[in-house]
Structure 1
Amino acid sequence: MTFSALIVAAGSGSRAGGDKQWRDLGGRPVLRWSAEALLNAGAQELIVVIAPDAQDRVAQALSGLSSWRAVTGGKTRAQSVRAGLAALSCPADQPVLIHDAARPLLAREVVDRLIAALKDADGALPALPVADSLRRGQDGRMAGVVERDGLWRAQTPQAFRRGVIEAAYAAWPVDETPTDEAVVVDRQGGRVVLVEGDPRLLKLTYPEDFAMAEALLPRQTRIGSGYDVHRWGPGGSVWLCGIEVPHDQTLIGHSDADAGLHALTDAILGAVAEGDIGDHFPPSDPKWKGASSDRFLVHAADLVKARGGRIVNVDVTLICEHPKVKPHRLAMRERIAGLLDLALDAVSVKATTSEGLGFTGRNEGLAAQAVATIDLPAAI
């Protein structure tokens, strides 16, 4: 069934520390999670109701998405909802889902249940039964028990046909403020049904709620590999895995030719499908001549963080006849751990020879291999 959607994102979010709809959750703005969920579920049009000064912020948050428009809301939720309804282009009999931007973890199954429920109801909302024992409090002391039988925790989105919710709002007393749209329709005698909600569909109200939402995000594990080679040339030291090692030769390259960090950078970039080191730091660009490879590695790690991910562990293998790596291995591990903000036991550096075979065996150059494991948020 075709439907339209409306996201209320005009509030200040003061209890959550302000501007919660624009804050990052798993590498994406909170608002974007809801917008993507509704559009992916089949929303024909999406109206996002924002504060008057939020035009630039919504454009940035929803960059790359289509079929959405932003309108300015009012001082109350009800005023914002009415502004959003007025901006819709759908007919009166089309379902409209009205959602809070502060509930980002919306699953497709919830949307499907709401749409199906409208076949024989005037409205539908997702809800969860109250599981905890309830107490009434007074002056910090227990002042009675509240029976939880028949009590439900209301969530959003809430679903109505456009004509039904607009007519109900038109009849709502101007001196009263409704808690949500289900109350508005129920007041006018409409039949509003409860459908199965989702525990992940929590509302971000307080700062600690963001940590809970992060923990609830579905995750995916990715692995990337990297490989790099540099030839030997005249010199008195060589950079390997971020450490300067005394040697009677050096590696030749446009930057500091740190093959270990180059391979590791490529491994991290590969795990997030962001190309390779040459795409980000072209050797043809003179600004990278002699540059420290630390910068390349940190850049790759920042790309992971920007997507709400984290590096789990890394493993680097240096392939060479000389110099001896073992005396410097701990320093290399410590350097990489510091650059990537990892525990030392999440960083492995080892070395091997090629038994005199190939270009490394002939001491013509040094090769490095690396593997990186990262953890990323996945779509719901």
Structure 2
Amino acid sequence: MAERRRIIEGSWNCTSCGARNIPARHKNCPSCNNPREFSGKESEFDFGDVDAASGKSTREGVSDEQALGMAGAGEDWFCAYCGAANRGDGARCRQCSAERGSDAKTAPLADLGPKPPPKPAPQPRRFGKVALIVVGILSSCCLGTCAVGIWGNMKHELKGEVVATNWRRALVQERFVPETRSGWRDELTPTAPRMPVNGTGEVAGVTNIRDCVSRQRGTRRVADGTQRVCRTKTRKVACGTEEKCTRRDKGNGFAEEVCHDVTKYCNESYEDCDTETRYRNEPVYAQQCAYDTYVWKPVDTRELKGTEGPPRWPDLTAGTNERVRREEDYSVLVRYDDGGVKQHEVKPTREEEFVAWKKGQGVTLTVTNLGKVEQAVRR
């Protein structure tokens, strides 16, 4: 692919008189005749914009011999005595005639590669009066939530008193009785029942499996043929050529642009098709049967309640193929003052814990600032 080269002339701004866009071929300002110097912005050149797609300069290339000769003279150097800019092929300063020495300076080369597009300026946010109020409230709530959380978890101690104690005890008489149930045939294993002895050791058993009928037990996913499925995708394909250009700073106010043609790629849509298995849900059937077994069923309940004294059990005994199950519940009510009269219920789990609480007894409660009772201890 053939290369195309051209020279782009830059421009500079005079910091002495403010003249702008001075062509690089002028080493002195045409307006005030001050020499271009290394210090300040005079050593920086503007080479113009480039096309975003190709990178080609929007400026015309130079063709006259004077400009091309200056571009090929090498990097400019700045006199160490007077600071004036000089051609790279000059041995003495054109301004003060001082000989070029090792202390002469050259301006840093600019990076003229493609620059990322500027980010769009952020749009000013416009908040209505209501929106500002909402934002203010939310901000206050966020800060307030943290403060409330810390304050709310802080604890303090309060004095209280036991004002009531209650207990309930119940005996539930259960009998091991026959019952007909249904189940899936493959899960039923014939088993002989065994009656309990002193309320334990029983086996429910599975007997007399009968009246089996086919019923839907569930579903299963099965293949139901194939289907052709196509999806639209995009790929890059060659679609001709396009011009791409790069620029290189020559260090003397000129830049060399090199352009060549490269393969251009475009997006192409296409159908990507494949054969996929199609599935459907198929019902699953099994045999559901009736069978005989035994279960525990409550037949009688006796209950006693009280407020003081040791808890007692009611009278109830188990007969043949029976058992007695116990239920017990205890409650202690504590009254205290936390900006108002309040009550807290303590729930002992055993009789030994319950009988230790007495009506009129003092209690120390640990309470959070949000009113949650963390602990209640007898005094």
Q: Structure 2-normalised TM-score?
A: 0.13
- Structure whose CA Rg is larger: 2
Q: Relative to total residues, which structure has the larger helix share, 1 or 2?
A: 1
Per chain length, whose mean CA-contact separation is higher, i.e. which structure has more relative contact order (CA < 8 Å, sep 6+)?
2
